[in-house]
Amino acid sequence: MIDTAAARRYRRAADYLAAAQIYLRDNVLLREPLRPHHLKPRLLGHWGTCPGITFVYSGLNALAKATGQRTLFVVGPGHGAPAVHANLWLEGTHARHDPALSLDEAGLTELVRRFSWPGGFPSHLSPEVPGVIHEGGELGYALATAFGAALDDPELLVACLIGDGEAETGPTAGSWHGGKFLDPAHDGAVLPVLHLNGSKISSPTVYASMDDDELAAYFHGAGWTPHLVDVTTTAEPDELLASTLTLARTEITGIRDRRPDRPRWPMILLRSPKGWGLPAFDAEGTPLEGSFHAHQVPIEADNLELLERWLRSYRPEELFTRHGAPQPDLLDLLPPEELRLGRVPQANGGDLRRELPLPDPAEFAVEVSKPGAAQASPTATAGEYLAELLRRTEESRNFRIMCPDELASNKLDATLSATDRVFAWPPGSPAEHLGRHGRVMEVLSEHLCQGWLQGYLLTGRHGLFPCYEAFASIVDSMVNQYAKFLKMAAETPWRTPVASLNYLLTSEGWRQEHNGYSHQGPGFINNLLTKKSSVSRIYFPPDANTLLHTLHHCLSSTDRINLVIAGKHPAAQWLSAEEAARHCRAGAGVWDWAGTEQHRDQPEVVLACAGGVPTVETLAAADLLRRHAPDLMVRVVNVVDLLSLSTPRRHPHGMDERAFEACFGRGLPVVFAFHGYPSAVHEVLHGRPDPARFHVHGYLEEGTTTTPFDLLVSNRMSRYDLAADALRRAGGWASAGGGLAQRLLAERDELRAHAFREGKDAKEITEWSWPA
């Protein structure tokens, strides 16, 4: 049984501290009458959800104390940060990380002043806050993150508070099915708490409009056993919550012991008034408690009398000693220090991270005796490497692949020789490689894959997110938030590095001619270029061996967002294992064997490329020039690390001036074939001398269901376009090269007409190979 009077008293203290953070800069214990100069000049924060957060926090404390249950608390309503700060201060976690937040009046004053104050804590949860793996600054992702945190950690309970406004989002709607991917034997449990407090900023929520029977039916259909906690119908809400949490834990234990075919995990439907504890009305008769007016700052600063009366209703003089410390009985309610929610080790997952036993890429390399002689699928080769990594981590279970039902399509299905696709419920149709114990997670929701992986990484594990290139942009805003999280975490002294978030984008736009325009979209590259240089990395391995080395590097890195884009179709292989390793370390390099400037001091034009298909087109263009303009001195440069083009001042991977000049010369025209939008290369080159000499060909938003060659021609990225552009720009070739350029473009048009006439590309395109 819980001491309900003590629980109410604890919540009164936490709620007072939350309100004080929103309003006060001084006189934090109201030892004197409240005056305007005691208030912050800008009142920021969201009071409406704070009492509900404290209510759940207090209940989880009681559960941990009674049962020893280690619990991670994921708070979806991140703008309820004052409530989390209040509980962290009371449990002593804030003081543990920062002695200035000590358990006395000085520490309390510092906490209250810091909230939403320049140089202090932001208005929402952030990496500077202990216990946090999810900011909540953008709604929709808490539940998916919670599931990722629970994977492969059977002793962990992840309690996830979801606001009824957040529950309206698409990502949350998809996340309710996450329970079907939890293995009762090897994973932890997720306990969702849907907080039904009735309204968003200024309108009612969908879920709060549903009655109890409708809610129960809805969530039972999604695979849950819902339990209602309605604080408006009981005189002892803390006792009701405590008994419900105990029941939920008992049900979780039963699922783990029985392992039923269709496990229905418990969840809680929490009904409480919005802004619980506010006066019913303000001085003008506007409703406060239980209305949308409680959502943010419910009482304006000019209503000082009502504000003081409300703050004093918490009776802070009964809750804190004359030195400003919490009264000892408040701290008696807390669990042992190692079980306090702000101190759960999984919330600082870098402390739990262990290096992966990565295979040697050379063991899986394609044998390349000379450039272009071998054929291989880059992603199929990488699949064998990843399968071995899955075997090596079978015991530690600290590596997973999250993929939106595209593993086989992207030629990574070799991984299924080492593990299954995980699914906890019986499949509704015949299925292969399916089991509860698997570590490949496939679901047709990029949002869910992203959230799973974030939760998994931030609790100390490793993973990979393969995806169709065009659909990676579905998680643009999620990666934006995660990049900000990593940036701020790196600036927080007590946070330790976590494994990098690794994207492997394939089914790239240049080979989506069969699907068409909707499947052609390289914009994820541009989005990642907007992120801090301390976080973002972008790679274009041109063949299987460079992909192996790139993945090896990315999977061993920390605190990064690594974007790797590679082809899946069998294609010519250019570099041996040793050459690939050197090329990847350099980030870019001259392919001497492809150019015509060997033994010469200075080429007349540089053909550069980044990406698998652009590399093929560039080499084919070099071949055209070798045959039709043998006196033209051409240098061929391949770029595997896009950000190596940047200056070292702008990005840590930027080549120094000597290395950059060794690739691109000085003052030379550069015809650059790029995988994505040309603007991305121009952005990266900013700050380099004479960037106007770079003439970038890339995706121009032209496409349809057509042939691969026609797609290239439509975007002026074919070998003929590249060769003609090189001829026009090479010094001294303006007149002689112009005629040849026109002939090459005429040949291009003839080959394009063949595709329109025959429905397929000519053999000159499909059977081209690098000359022996």
Residue 652 within any structural domain of the chain: yes
Tokens of residue 385, six digits = 């490497």
Q: How far apart are CA 387 and CA 438, in angstroms?
A: 12
> Band of the pLDDT at 736, cuts 50, 70, 90?
low
- Amino acid 430: pLDDT: 87
Cβ-Cβ contacts under 8 Å for 329 (sequence gap 6 or more): 6, 9
Residues 558 and 547: their CA atoms lie apart, in Å, by 19
Q: Clarify whether residues 192 and 118 are in a common domain.
A: yes
478-495 pLDDT, tens per residue? 999 999 999 999 999 999
- Residue 573 belongs to a domain: no
Return the amino acid letter for 296. Q
Asked which of 15-29, 118-132, 248-262, 588-602 is least confident by mean pLDDT, the reply is 588-602
| Nearest to 747, CA basis, from 639, 627, 632, 641 | 627
Are 628 and 728 contained in the same domain?
A: yes
How far, in Å, CA of 517 to CA of 513, rounded? 8
Give, as one character, the DSSP assignment of residue 227: E
Q: What are the residues whose beta carbons fall under 8 Å from the beta carbon of 599, sequence distance 6 or more?
A: none
Tell whether 351 is covered by a domain. no
Contact predicate 90/17, CB 8 Å: yes
Residues 95 and 231 in one domain: yes
pLDDT in tens, 615-634: 999 999 999 999 999 999 99
Give residue 135's pLDDT. 87
H or E, element range at 266: strand 265-271
Angle, CA 759 vertex, CA 758 and CA 764 arms, to 5°:
70
- Answer yes or no: is pLDDT of 417 > 80: yes
Q: What is the pLDDT of residue 373?
A: 93
Whether the CB-CB separation of 552 and 502 falls below 8 Å is answered with: no
Q: What is the pLDDT of residue 53?
A: 98
The per-residue pLDDT for 598 is 67
The chain-wide mean pLDDT, for the chain, equals: 95
Q: What are the b/e assignments for 697-735, b being 16+ CB within 10 Å?
A: bbbeeebeebbbbbbbbbbbbbbbbbbbbbbbbbeebee
Inside any domain, residue 357: no
- Specify the pLDDT at position 600: 58
The residue among 565, 598, 627 that closes a domain is: 565
pLDDT score of 737 more than 70: no
Q: Which two tokens stand for residue 271?
A: 């009904």
Contact 86, 130 (CB under 8 A): no
**Domain presence at residue 356:** no
Cβ 177 vs Cβ 265: under 8 Å: no
Dmax over CA atoms of the chain, in Å, equals: 94
Token output for 323: 């030195």
For residues 733-760, average pLDDT: 89
Nearest to 11 by CA among 79, 57, 76: 57
Q: Which helix (H) or strand (E) holds 671?
A: strand 670-674
- Domain CATH code at residue 401: 3.40.50.970
Q: Cβ atoms within 10 A of the Cβ of 515, count?
A: 15
Total residue length of the chain = 772
Same-domain pairing of 539 and 669: no
Share of the chain above pLDDT 90, in %: 93
Q: Where are the alpha helices (DSSP H) in 343-500?
A: 378-392, 446-458, 476-490
Which of 685, 674, 593 minimizes the C-alpha distance to 634?
Answer: 593
User: For residue range 3-32, what is the model confidence (pLDDT) as tens digits?
Assistant: 999 999 999 999 999 999 999 999 999 999
- How far apart are alpha carbons 409 and 429 in whole angstroms? 19
> Are 263 and 150 members of one domain?
yes
Over residues 76-106, the pLDDT tens digits come to 998 999 999 999 999 999 999 999 999 999 9
Strands (E), 47-188: 71-75, 157-163
Segment 507-519 shows an average pLDDT of: 90
Tell me, yes or no, whether 736 and 688 share the same domain: yes
| Mean pLDDT computed over 584-601 | 88
Q: Please tell me whether residues 561 and 595 are part of one structural domain.
A: no
pLDDT confidence tier of residue 731, bands split at 50, 70 and 90: confident
Name all contacts of 325-329 with Cβ < 8 Å and 24+ positions apart: 325/103, 325/104, 325/105, 326/13, 326/90, 326/103, 329/6, 329/9
User: Nearest-CA neighbor of 364 among 415, 325, 297, 409?
Assistant: 415
Task: State how far the alpha carbon of 607 is from the alpha carbons of 120, 339, 546, 619, 722, in Å.
Answer: 51, 60, 20, 9, 8
User: Does residue 282 sit within a domain?
Assistant: yes
Does residue 13 lie within any of the structural domains? yes
Nearest-Å Rg of the Cα atoms of the chain is: 30
Q: What's the average model confidence in pLDDT over 363-374?
A: 96
> Distance between CA 692 and CA 437 in Å, rounded?
55
Q: In what order do the strands lie in the sheet with 421-422?
A: 434-435, 421-422, 440-442, 399-403, 462-468, 501-506, 561-565, 536-539
Q: Determine contact, residues 423/406, Cβ cutoff 8 Å.
A: no
User: Which residues neighbour 421 within 8 Å (Cβ) at sequence distance 6 or greater?
Assistant: 407, 431, 433, 434, 435, 438, 440, 441, 442
pLDDT at position 120, please?
A: 95
Pair (338, 405) in one structural domain? no
Report residue 202's pLDDT band, with 50, 70 and 90 as the boundaries.
confident
Q: Which residue has the tokens 């967002």?
A: 561
Q: Among residues 565, 599, 619, which one ends one of the domains?
A: 565
- Domain range for 67 is 4-345
Q: What is the average pLDDT across 199-209?
A: 90
What global pTM score does this model have? 0.96
The predicted pLDDT at position 201 comes to 87
Q: Is the same domain home to 66 and 146?
A: yes
End-to-end C-alpha distance for the chain, whole angstroms: 82
In sign, the C-alpha dihedral spanning 533, 534, 538, 541 is positive
Tens digit of pLDDT for each residue in 458-473?
A: 999 999 999 999 999 9
Residue 686: how many CB atoms within 10 A of its CB?
11
Question: What is the Cα–Cα distance from 486 to 127, expressed in whole angstroms?
Answer: 8
Going by the DSSP 8-state scheme, the letter that residue 460 receives in this structure is T
3-state helix, strand, coil in the chain (%, to 5): 45, 15, 40
Q: Which two tokens stand for residue 561?
A: 């967002």
- CA torsion through residues 644, 645, 651, 656, sign: positive
Residue (of 35, 48, 112) closest to 305 by Cα position: 35
Sorted by sequence, the CB contacts under 8 Å of residue 711 that are 6+ apart come out as 510, 513, 520, 702, 703
- Domains in the chain: how many in total? 3
| 441 within 8 A of 452, measured Cβ to Cβ | yes
Any idea of the CA torsion for 545, 547, 553, 556, to the nearest 10 degrees? -110
pLDDT at 179: 97
- Could you report the per-residue pLDDT of 656-695, keeping only the tens digit for each? 999 999 999 999 999 999 999 999 999 999 999 999 999 9
Residue 303, number of CB atoms within 10 A of its CB: 15
Distance CA 326, CA 332 (A): 11
Q: Does residue 363 lie within any of the structural domains?
A: no
Picking from 310, 345, 380, the residue at the C-terminal end of a domain is 345
Of 335, 237, 334, the C-alpha closest to 5 is: 237
Give the model's pLDDT for residue 2.
Answer: 85
Mean pLDDT of 271-300: 92
The count of other CB atoms within 10 Å of the CB of residue 232 is 10
Shared domain check, 334 and 425? no
> Does position 599 have pLDDT exceeding 80, yes or no?
no
Judge whether residue 738 has pLDDT over 80: no
Which residue matches tokens 């929701």? 445
Determine the 3-state secondary structure of 121 from DSSP: strand
**Neighbour-count burial of 323, counting CB atoms closer than 10 A to its CB (0-12 exposed, 13-18 middle, 19+ buried):** exposed
Q: Do 370 and 403 form a contact (C-beta atoms < 8 A)?
A: no
Proportion of the chain above pLDDT 70, given as a percent: 99
| Distance in angstroms (rounded) separating the CA atoms of residues 332 and 670 | 71
Q: Are residues 227 and 324 in the same domain?
A: yes
CATH number of the domain within which 649 lies: 3.40.50.920
232, 325: one domain: yes
